[in-house]
């Protein structure tokens, strides 16, 4: 099969499209999926660069998001059959640890991610546990189906479960071009929250306004903190969603109201920040981390998608042979929405 693989750690130069043997089902609960589309995530850039403690077998098939047709199922699989149109939840949990028993799969002691710890979706075939599959909503095209799972699930847990965003509250979202940020905007609208979004690109801000952003700020020339205060009667945002890290950390805290929640699901501009603990306790802030989501949260977003909500914004769809250019676009942060690779020919 044709696959987009990483041949060694060291960044995007190590990516190659090559022929690999097709994977086979190794346990009765697995399914073999004939991939139609795969979507890129910033996680792929981290995997390519080499995450601390990562031990991959090379060549490693990249990609955490994908959609396709069920090709074969293991003998214990009842809920899917060959030919079903499915999308893949990349959260792999052990099912046995205390967190899994409590239904908190993204807190699993042995949490793994498709494409990060095992073979990914950017190949003609991938094997995953059948419990990680969901039916693609009937009207949803393959591109959106591949782009859906990781970003929407991450944004859902971040805002709904962790930050407990409520109707009427104000949410600040940095960097509205990314998949998680765009999903966060859609989820905030669904909840009935007000949204203030930022980008360094006026074109992206225009699209965000079209998607319902209440205030759109170009962070290259606007004083985001002052604008947030102005739009919240001087109080500050109830919730700030930040995946940028070092570059936005100080402003995120300064934009937060007393008692506000800062929720973090990434660190694209760097992971190390400092914190004045006196401000933390005096303002009674909550600083929350969030990663992926549990199966109940995934079922919830799939239900919304089936009813026509939370469909991801797709930046562009490229053939497998042009995947490297798509990765370069992701690395430069030029995309508006998800980059999708057409795997099936
Ligand atoms: Zn577990």
Sign of CA dihedral 197, 289, 127, 100: negative
Cα–Cα distance for residue pair 308/167, rounded to 1 Å: 21
Percent of the chain scored above 90 by pLDDT? 97
Q: What is the pLDDT of residues 135-154, one digit of tens each?
A: 999 999 999 999 999 999 99
Distance 106 CA to ligand 1 centre (A): 8
- What gap in Å lies between CA 252 and CA 86, rounded to an integer? 37
Distance (angstroms) between ligand 1 centre and the Cα of 228 equals: 40
Q: Is the pLDDT of residue 52 over 80?
A: no
> What pLDDT, on a 0 to 100 scale, did the predictor assign at position 199?
97
How close is the Cα of 2 to the center of ligand 1, in Å?
32
Question: pTM here?
Answer: 0.97
Question: What percent of the chain clears pLDDT 70, i.e. is strictly above it?
Answer: 100
- Phi, psi of 159, rounded to the nearest 5 degrees: -90, -45
What CA–CA distance (Å, rounded) separates 69 from 9? 31
The alpha carbon of 293 and the centre of ligand 1 are apart by a number of angstroms equal to 13
146 C-alpha to center of ligand 1: Å? 25
pLDDT of 84 > 90? The answer is: yes
* β-pairing verdict for 125-129 and 256-264: unpaired
The confidence score (pLDDT) of residue 55 equals 80
CA 291–ligand 1 middle distance (angstroms): 14
CA 188 to centroid of ligand 1, rounded, Å = 30
CA of 112 to the centre of ligand 1 (A): 10
Question: What is the whole-number distance in angstroms between the Cα of residue 78 and the centre of ligand 1?
Answer: 22
Quote the ligand 1 centre to 103 CA distance (angstroms).
Answer: 9
CA of 110 to the centre of ligand 1 (A): 6
Alpha-helical runs (H) found in 129-176: 142-156
Distance CA 182, CA 244 (A): 14
Gap between the Cα atoms of 343 and 37, Å rounded: 5
Cα–ligand 1 centroid distance for 90 (angstroms): 14
Given a contact cutoff of 8 angstroms between Cβ atoms, the answer to whether 158 and 152 are in contact is no
Write out the H or E segment, with its range, that includes residue 177: none
Distance 97 CA to ligand 1 centre (A): 4
Residue 54 has pLDDT above 80, yes or no: no
Average model confidence (pLDDT) across the chain: 97
Distance 8 CA to ligand 1 centre (A): 29
56 by DSSP, 3-state: which? coil
Interval between CA 246 and ligand 1 midpoint (Å): 31
Quote the ligand 1 centre to 105 CA distance (angstroms). 6
Q: Look at residues 128, 145, 125 and name the one whose alpha carbon lies nearest to residue 136.
A: 145
Residue 17 has pLDDT above 90, yes or no: yes
Contact indicator for 35, 343 with CB cutoff of 8 Å? yes
The per-residue pLDDT for 53 is 74
CA–CA dist 303, 317 (Å, integer): 25
């Amino acid at each position: 099969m044709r696959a987009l693989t990483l041949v060694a750690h060291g960044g995007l130069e190590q990516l190659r499209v090559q022929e690999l043997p097709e994977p086979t089902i190794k346990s009765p609960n697995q399914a073999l999926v004939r991939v139609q589309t795969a979507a890129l995530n910033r996680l792929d850039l981290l995997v390519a660069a080499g995450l601390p403690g990562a031990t991959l077998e090379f060549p490693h098939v990249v990609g955490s998001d994908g959609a396709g047709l069920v090709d074969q199922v293991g003998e214990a699989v009842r809920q899917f059959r060959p030919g079903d149109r499915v999308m893949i939840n990349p959260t792999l949990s052990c099912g046995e640890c205390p967190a899994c028993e409590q239904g908190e799969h993204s807190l699993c002691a042995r949490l793994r991610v498709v494409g990060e710890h095992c073979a990914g979706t950017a190949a003609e075939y991938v094997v995953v546990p059948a419990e990680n599959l969901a039916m693609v909503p009937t009207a949803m095209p393959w591109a959106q189906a591949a782009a859906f799972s990781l970003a929407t699930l991450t944004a859902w847990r971040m805002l709904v479960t962790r930050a407990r965003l409520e109707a009427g509250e104000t949410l600040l979202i940095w960097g509205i071009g990314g998949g998680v940020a765009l999903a966060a905007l859609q989820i905030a609208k669904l909840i009935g929250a007000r949204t203030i979004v930022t980008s360094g690109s006026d074109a992206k801000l225009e699209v965000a306004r079209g998607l319902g952003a209440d205030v759109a700020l170009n962070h290259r020339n606007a004083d985001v903190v002052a604008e947030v205060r102005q739009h919240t009667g001087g109080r500050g945002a109830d919730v700030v969603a930040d995946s940028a890290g070092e570059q936005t950390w100080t402003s995120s805290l300064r934009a937060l109201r007393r008692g506000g929640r800062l929720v973090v699901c990434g660190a694209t501009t760097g992971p190390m920040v400092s914190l004045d603990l006196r401000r933390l306790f005096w303002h009674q802030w909550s600083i929350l981390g969030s990663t992926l989501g549990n199966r109940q949260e995934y079922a919830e977003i799939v239900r919304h998608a089936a009813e026509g909500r939370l469909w991801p914004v797709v930046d562009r769809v490229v053939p497998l042979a042009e995947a490297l250019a798509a990765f370069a676009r992701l690395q430069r942060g030029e995309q508006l929405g998800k980059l999708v690779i057409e795997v099936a020919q």
